[in-house]
Structure 1
Amino acid sequence: MTRTAYRFVPFTIKQDLAAEPTYSAFCVSGDEKECEQSSDEWLTPHPVEVWMREHTRETGHSRYRREFVDYAEVTQHDV
């Protein structure tokens, strides 16, 4: 018989403030095929929202997948 001992190791996961998050959006409108047009990546959400409004005005499309991407740091604490 083999015995296994598990030990709890605490971790902290937090946003890496040294790296700036990015925002973007992808048009997922369309009947049989998605539009697939996308905004550029931006450091603030405002330019992405402007792109979505302009794309909706030009195409009539109204469904988007928005993305917020950030970086994380994982720290293992000594027990």
Structure 2
Amino acid sequence: METHVTGQPVLGELRHALSAVFFGNPLFSPQEQLLANHYIHECEDAQQLTRWLRRMTAALTHRHPVGPSSTTSLAGYVV
């Protein structure tokens, strides 16, 4: 991930990584994907986006550890 001089990840890179977590993921409804997209592109805080990416990645790993057998929704985790 590219970084600014301050060491903070570039917002565009964070947005891209978060979008990859949500879009096309069958665990999220179309409405959840739209809400996530809105939040991802409205947020200007790199630290907040980084925390959200870490939490979402951990939650998905925890809820969907082995394969497509689990279809648990993460509603409420989106925004």
TM, length-normalised to structure 2 = 0.31
Q: Which has the higher strand share?
A: 1
The higher radius of gyration belongs to 1
Q: Which has the higher helix share?
A: 2
